[in-house]
Amino acid sequence: MTLTESTEANPLAAGLDQGRRASPGVLVVFGASGDLTARKLMPAVASLARRRLLPSTFAVVGVARSRMSDDDFRAKLIDAVPDGGPAWAELVKGFRYVAGDYGGADTMQRLKAVLEEVDADRRTAGNRLFYLATVPSVFEPVADALGAAGLNCPARPDAYVRLVIEKPFGRDLASARQLDDALHRNFEEGQIYRIDHYLGKETVQNVLALRFANAIFEPIWDRRYVDHVQITVAEALGVEHRGGFYETAGALRDIVQNHVMQVLSLTLMEPPAMIDAQGIRDEKVKALRAVKIMSIEQVATDVVRAQYEAGWSEGMAVPGYREEEGVAPDSRTETYVAMKLEVDNWRWAGVPIFVRTGKRLPKRVTEVALQFQRVPHLPFAAHESRDLHPNALVLRIQPDEGISLRFGAKVPGQAFEVRDVLMDFSYGAAFLEEPPDAYERLLLDAMIGDPTLFIRSDEVLQSWCIVDPILSAWASKDTPLARYPSGTWGPKQADQLLSREGRRWRTP
């Protein structure tokens, strides 16, 4: 019997709030034999299935160079999710594998045939989510090959085809544009989902909740009350086994161009009319456009680059960057960046934004701190308020997610002594429920077709516009490269960046 399709609503779905359940489809993973697939993507798929957020009409098709049968691939996926149980094993039975060169026409033809079989067997309705879990150098060839094979367009009018790519989105502005052109040759912008897993973190999204669900913060969230903003993305680890990769990247490309710019734009943006893809991304781009592009002279005075030396980190003696595996002994790649950014708009004009990121810092922490101005007049005796500092609102993004507010309070006793106290909201201690993993959240968003937490082309390019002049200025071998011992908060030049203005870095 030929089954007739219907678009009418499922009467049994009423009240089940299944708006965030994926529709039928195939997740096609390029780089299916790689680390990201086993470590992040498949556990995320298994968790979505366990939470019943995936339909039964779902399948994964893996594509990679390694020779493997469907059964080998399935066995690998079962190993990747050790707690998957019989239900995961059952789901995996419908997954397929295609071996071949990523950009090869032959690979795409075989993929196309497999997808047609999967559509027939699993009723995946022609929907495809292509996930490029590969090295960036194959993004272009894969996009071109998908286009040449006609896999970039839905096979039926009601189906979707989407492409997910992981950072880095280029090495500089020119290569980012080139990548964008290659992607847009084959896909509409609305089909492209650029992942920065930072945006999948619950606490990054919580920045939006704090700012736009509360009336008390937004009115003071501007130049009239904020003295300066500090954004810290610190890592305790060194480059570990990624020395070879890191030599081609550095902290500016690896962290500042993406994670920092995303956190920065969420912190500085204007309230959107709607918390949706267009509303949020439009405002983020506007915020990034307001960040002043630095001249070469400003890079020299407002940006500090540095490299870690041997030292002690978390109780262990650790080597310097140049002693790390895969790193050149005379490497000039920065493992630390500190900079002062200026923002040219009504809200933030005159408020410096200090950013720092680095490896081998004393601890892993990501936070945004709004340092408020001092009160216009302190009516207390100097000796009674010497321990008082300006108010600070700190948004802790990881690892101890939460919000703290520093304010002055009277010390109990006869004297009127005032000192700092910290009012602390710990996100994890309030809601102890484990939030979904960032990949799980983003994968489901991509399947549903919600691009809110993905990065739009103009966001990527604008981030590069901010970072590119710094890269250009650093191209000269004469650019100073400071050193800092592992396990410290960076070089003294970074401290001077603030101290010359009478400010100082927070100690997270």
Partner 1 sequence: MADAVALNRWYGTEVGLGAVVDTMAQLRRSVARTASRTWVMTLVAIAVSDDEAYQATQVLRALGAHHPARLLVVQPQPEAVVGAAGIDASVTIYGTEVDGHPLTFDEVSLWVKGEAARHLDSIVEPFTLSDLPVVVWYPASLPAVSEPLLAKASSVLVDTREAHDVAGLIALAGRRAVVDLSWMRLRPWREMVAALFDPPEFRPYARQITSASIAGKGGPRRLLAGWLGSRLGLSKERMELHDARHARVVLRSGSTASFEVAREEGERLVRASAVIDGEIRHHELLPLPDDSLVWSLSEALTHLGRDRVWQQALAAGVAADAWL
Whether 228 is a known active-site residue: answer no
Cβ closer to partner 1: 4 or 476?
Answer: 4
Interface with partner 1 in residues 412-441 (CB under 8 A): 424-426, 428-433
Burial string for 431-442 (b: 16+ CB within 10 Å, else e) reads eeeebbbbbbbb
| Least gap, CB of 144 to partner 1 (angstroms) | 33
Q: Whole-number minimum distance, CB 16 to partner 1, in Å?
A: 6
Q: State how far the Cα of 182 lies from the Cα of 165, in Å rounded to an integer.
A: 13
Between 19 and 86, CB nearer to partner 1: 86
* Site for partner 1 contains 15 (CB under 8 A): yes
By CB under 8 A, what part of segment 70-89 binds partner 1? 85-87
Binding range to partner 1, per CB under 8 A, among 8-16, 25-33, 215-223, 350-358: 8-16
3-state secondary structure 125-163: CCCEEEEECCCHHHHHHHHHHHHHCCCCCCCCCCCCEEE
Taking CB under 8 A as the binding criterion, the range among 47-55, 203-211, 453-461, 493-501 that sits at the site for partner 1 is 47-55
Q: Could you say which of 31, 55, 168, 508 contacts partner 1 (CB under 8 A)? A: 55
Percentages (nearest 5) of helix, strand, coil residues in the chain: 40, 20, 40
Q: And the tokens for 64?
A: 């990679």
Number of Cβ atoms within 10 Å of the Cβ of 89: 14
What track of x and - describes contact with partner 1 for positions 330 through 359 (by CB under 8 A)? Answer: ------------------------------
Closest distance to partner 1 from the beta carbon of 459 (Å): 32
SS3 (DSSP) at 304: strand
Does 153 help bind partner 1 (rule: CB under 8 A)? no
Which candidate, 325, 324, 321, places its Cα nearest to that of 333? 321
Nearer to partner 1, 91 or 473 (CB): 91
**Quick one: 420 or 424, whose CB is closer to partner 1?**
424
Tokens coding 143: 């996009």
Closest separation between CB of residue 447 and partner 1, Å? 14
The secondary element (H helix, E strand) that includes residue 283 is helix 277-290
Return all residues near 199 (Cβ < 8 A) that are at least 6 apart.
205, 262, 438, 442, 453, 454, 455
Mapping DSSP to helix (H, G, I), strand (E, B) and coil, where does residue 402 land? strand
**Residue 328 near partner 1 by CB under 8 A:** no
CB of 434 to partner 1, least distance (A): 10
Residue nearer to partner 1 on the CB measure, 18 or 496: 18
Output 380 or 427, the one with its CB closest to partner 1: 427
314 binds partner 1 (CB under 8 A): no
Burial zone of 262 (CB within 10 Å; 0-12 exposed, 13-18 middle, 19+ buried): buried
| Enclosing H/E stretch for 470 | helix 457-474
90 binds partner 1 (CB under 8 A): yes
- Nearest-angstrom CA–CA distance, 54 and 48: 6
Q: Compute the CA torsion angle 483, 486, 491, 492 (nearest 10 deg).
A: -120
**What distance in Å separates the CA atoms of residue 88 and residue 95, rounded to the nearest whole number?**
11
Closest CB to partner 1 among 201 and 253? 201
Closest distance of CB 240 from partner 1, Å: 24
Binding of partner 1 by 50 (CB under 8 A)? yes
Task: Pick one of 400, 420, 450, 458: the residue that binds partner 1 (CB under 8 A).
Answer: 400
Report in angstroms how near the CB of residue 499 gets to partner 1 at its nearest. Answer: 32
Residue type, 254: D
Buried-state track 401-420, b at ≥16 Cβ within 10 A, e below 16: bbbbbbbbeeeeeeeebbee
Which residue among 259, 377, 383, 389 is the active-site one?
259
Give how many residues touch partner 1 by CB under 8 A.
Answer: 39
β-pairing, 311-313 with 316-318? antiparallel
Site membership for partner 1, residue 35 (CB under 8 A): no
Nearer to partner 1 (CB atom), residue 35 or residue 83: 83
Binding to partner 1 (CB under 8 A) within 108-147 occurs at: 123, 125
CB of 33 to partner 1, least distance (A): 26
Given a contact cutoff of 8 angstroms between Cβ atoms, the answer to whether 196 and 462 are in contact is no
Identify the residue among 20, 39, 52, 374 touching partner 1 (CB under 8 A): 52
List contacts with partner 1 (CB under 8 A): 1, 3-8, 10-18, 24, 50, 52, 55-57, 85-87, 90-91, 123, 125, 400, 424-426, 428-433
Give the active site residues. Answer: 259
